[in-house]
Amino acid sequence: MCDFLPGILEKEWEPIEKKLELVKPFAKAIHVDLLDGKFAPNTTFLDPEPFKKYKDAFLLELHMMVKEPIDYLKPWADAGFRRFIGHVEHMSDQAAFVAKGEELGEVGLAIDAKTPVSAIKVPYYDLDAILVMTVNAGFSGQSFLPECLDKVRQIKEKDFTEVIQIDGGVSDKIIKEACAAGVSRFVATSYLFNSEHPSRQFAKLHNAC
Ligand code: DX5
Ligand code: ZN
């Protein structure tokens, strides 16, 4: 069974709250993008505090496209986040990130579109999820990069039995191929929110699975 998460990449609280309210009737989990401007040339809202209001409404997942994601774990866990996916590209100690993340919830590592699978240095059995970017991290609304699914296949071949997630350019058109490659969790931002009817789009993703 596949899982679909609305993604939120915003600079201010107001549009974030708008989107949370919009998807509350049909989504159980939310993917929140965190960008510090050092990882990629973009920034997002960096205050965990107001999310507290939504900690019972959703499973809150944090996608950490930042330098040293470990520094963000505690404050965002205190606000109610329960799944932490940190990028390896600017992470100095993967084992330390995973160990601390495990104490606070589910933990995963993410690789950007140009990063090879070999950049993941911790044993796979320590991870609840691996996120493979299917666009270059930093912005929503980019086109899906099908070649990134090769990395999903490589991870699968290494007998990773937990969740492989993709993020970037997700639409109903790519679900079949991604599922066949081994993806079981998807993030969708513009596909949902650029539509007048996010709930219909959400259903279309499920139906494509
Ligand atoms: C990109 C973010 C993605 C992005 C996805 O850096 O991690 O979550 O918001 O947006 P779409 O679905 O529009 O490609
Ligand atoms: Zn993301």
For 42-96, the pLDDT digits (tens) are 999 999 999 999 999 999 999 999 999 999 999 999 999 999 999 999 999 999 9
Cα(86) to centroid(ligand 1), Å: 15
> What digits encode the pLDDT tens for the residues 165-182?
999 999 999 999 999 999
Q: Which atom of ligand 1 is nearest to the CA of 42?
A: 6
* Structural contact between residues 55 and 20, judged by C-beta atoms closer than 8 angstroms: no
pLDDT number for residue 166:
98
User: Is residue 1 very low, low, confident or very high in pLDDT (cuts 50, 70, 90)?
Assistant: confident
Q: Which atom of ligand 1 is nearest to the CA of 192?
A: 12
Torsion-angle region of 169 (φ positive above 0: left; ψ -120 to 50: alpha; else: beta) = left
What is the rounded distance in angstroms from the CA atom of residue 47 to the CA atom of residue 69? 14
pLDDT number for residue 139:
98
Residue 193: which of 43, 13, 11, 18 has the closest Cα?
A: 18
pLDDT number for residue 6:
98
Tokens 């993008």 belong to 33
* Structural contact between residues 153 and 180, judged by C-beta atoms closer than 8 angstroms: no
Across the chain, how many H-helices and E-strands are there?
Answer: 7, 8
Tell me, yes or no, if 36 is annotated catalytic.
Answer: no
> What digits encode the pLDDT tens for the residues 90-141?
999 999 999 999 999 999 999 999 999 999 999 999 999 999 999 999 999 9
* Structural contact between residues 192 and 18, judged by C-beta atoms closer than 8 angstroms: no
Cα(82) to centroid(ligand 2), Å: 15
DSSP 122: S
Instruction: Using alpha carbons only, give the angle 111, 60, 158 rounded to the nearest 5 degrees.
Output: 35
What is the rounded distance in angstroms from the CA atom of residue 113 to the CA atom of residue 141? 15
* Ligand 1, pocket-test mutation among 189, 194, 201, most atoms within 8 A of CB: 189
What is the rounded distance in angstroms from the CA atom of residue 125 to the CA atom of residue 199? 35
Cα(167) to centroid(ligand 1), Å: 6
